[in-house]
Chains A and B, each alone.
Chain A
Amino acid sequence: MSVNPELQGRVFPPVAPYLVGREKVREFSRAVFATNPINHDPEAARAAGHTDVVAPPTFAVVVQEATLAQLLAEPDGGIDFTRVVHGDQRFSYTRAIVAGDELTATLAVTSIKSLGGHSMVTAESTIVDASGAHVVTAISTLVVRGDE
């Protein structure tokens, strides 16, 4: 089975809200070697003008993950998980993620291209806060290897 070209332009239902915990931010920070006090210490974060500890720039992937799971599970999508390789990743922020944020992600498939027998699927997850204001857009390009 190959990737269904009709996926292009499809917008998925928003996933359940993700509540950003302070300890999760610290745990993720340690895992990516983030040692800045603003990632770990609420006092340091407040001194820099934030309401709580600030997540590292790639933390949005944790929130995005549920939307990519939706994409891979789409019944007519034709994306074989075992053939998927992560090609590109981008995060574009309106503001940083801080502990206490309740974030909701909505996925749209913006592009499907064929390249040398492989399919390149670009999926954009728009992440907003509890007020509906934009926080970050996470964009992944997945390379789905074709039949060999």
Chain B
Amino acid sequence: MTPAAPIRAVTELTVGDVVAEASFALTRDSLVHYAGASGDFNPIHYRDDVAQSVGLSGVLAHGMLTMGLAVQPVVDWAGDPARVIDYQVRFTRPVFVDATDGAAVTVVAKVGAVDVEAGIARIDLTVTFNGATVLGKAQARVNLG
């Protein structure tokens, strides 16, 4: 058995603390895998010709894939996926995934707010691709009680 990793008490957190950082290497294979796992088979996520026909420069990652991976560093920090009780994002820029080079998405997770009485921390995510943020208002509420 692997018990959940110990987590920090909410009282130890300070707004602005970086609690987790990670980088994810996306490839076209990642997109095909996510399409199958999620059931989202929109061809703009695996066919350049279809993506280009709607004015995009090429295949882009599912927004929900970016949202899904961006919270994982927070899950690992919290020790249990069930501790994430609320998670929201705004999709602001596409993540284009090059057929050869893929795409590197980086995540920095910082404490945005702390509710000591409720035992809940709001963790704000900065999610970046090619030097620009791709998610806005990306916030996860984590129950540390």
Which residues of chain A have a CB within 8 Å of any CB of chain B? 24, 27-28, 30-39, 41, 43-44, 46-48, 50, 54-58, 61-62, 65, 82, 85-93, 95-96, 139
Contacts and interface: CB of A to CB of B under 8 A. Distances in A.
A32 B82 contact: no
Interface string B64-98: 11011101100110001110111111110000000
B2 A41 contact: yes
Interface string B1-37: 1111000000000000000000010000010011011
A107 B3 CA distance: 37
A39 B69 CA distance: 13
A57 B3 CA distance: 20
A74 to B, nearest CB: 19
Tier of interface size on chain B: 35 or more
8 residue pairs, one from A and one from B, having the closest CB atoms: A32-B68, A96-B82, A31-B37, A90-B88, A58-B68, A47-B1, A48-B4, A57-B84
B140 interface: yes
B38 interface: yes
Contact of A30 (B1, B37, B88, B90): B37
A35 B4 CA distance: 13
B49 interface: no
A87 B34 CA distance: 19
B63 interface: yes
A27 B140 CA distance: 23
Secondary structure call for the A interface: mixed
B90 A87 contact: yes
Contact of A31 (B34, B81, B137): B34
Contact of B89 (A32, A38, A88): A88
Nearest to A34: B72
A90 B62 CA distance: 15
A25 B39 CA distance: 13
B64 A58 contact: yes
Contacts of B68: 31-34, 56-58
A85 to B, nearest CB: 8
A44 B34 CA distance: 24
A32 B90 CA distance: 18
B89 A62 contact: no
Nearest to B25: A33
A54 to B, nearest CB: 5
B40 interface: yes
